[in-house]
Structure 1
């Protein structure tokens, strides 16, 4: 657990955003990482007896797939590609457990045109697999909500060029926040 805590607390910002797990105490990390333990398994990447990355996988009830719930590596060890090694180890672990599918939950994020995370998933052999979703309103209020499209993600209503600009503004705001924190330190 200490290794996961160290990975979480390496840096307050990841992928140009405040990292939600940064600053958590070890008991909080233990509690949050301890969900679905009866169906979970963890794999760690180690360098000189120090954890430099980990992945948590959760099997579904029918044992037909394992989902990558959390995969994270130390930014300072990025040159050693621990995340790629963790994915390879996850594939081997699924094969050893006779789990035919390894799922990286959401393959894409709405209508983004380019995304480094999607590129990473493709480079590591993941493929997008769309599943049909059916929504059935149970009440009149539910029917009204469906008629207004409220069952869909808010970003599906916004054109990609506008979303791209909003993301750039958000990133600029995060960068200003990070710069002010650096100046205080």
Structure 2
């Protein structure tokens, strides 16, 4: 099998993808999803504003079905819906547009797949912490007051209030023709899942 990796160096919403996710050995447990897509996605404030601006129907679904949590990235919405996998995972892969995925989903490749990819994969998630989107998320968290707690309607009002400001900030970032790096390697599929 040819293991393929694509790194999209979008300065705002970078991403990594691999075809190994579609043959993940962890998804063979009697129909129960147990791989990366078994986790509930967590959308930070910047994700929510970005999705509101570009994918309003997805934003509405996340706000209606998600739960507000204090996560690793400040205030977040977790799509905890009582399923045994992400609500956006399907048999054909993720149903979300690539730039609507939260950072972990866009930048994390499991160790078992990454062993077949280029060494640069290891650094990609760490680079998120010095990215434009991370800085914009820090900015939004600094503007959100938590004195009375946060409700879904209060969070929506906050996103409406700051969406134009963030849109202006995004417009200043050149996202045209981002560098795309590809890497492929012939592998024995039986070795997928064995940390070498």
Same topology, TM > 0.5: no
Q: TM-score, normalised by structure 2?
A: 0.28
Q: TM-score, normalised by structure 1?
A: 0.29
Specify the structure having the higher radius of gyration (Cα). 1
Question: Relative contact order (alpha carbons < 8 A, sep ≥ 6): 1 or 2 greater?
Answer: 2
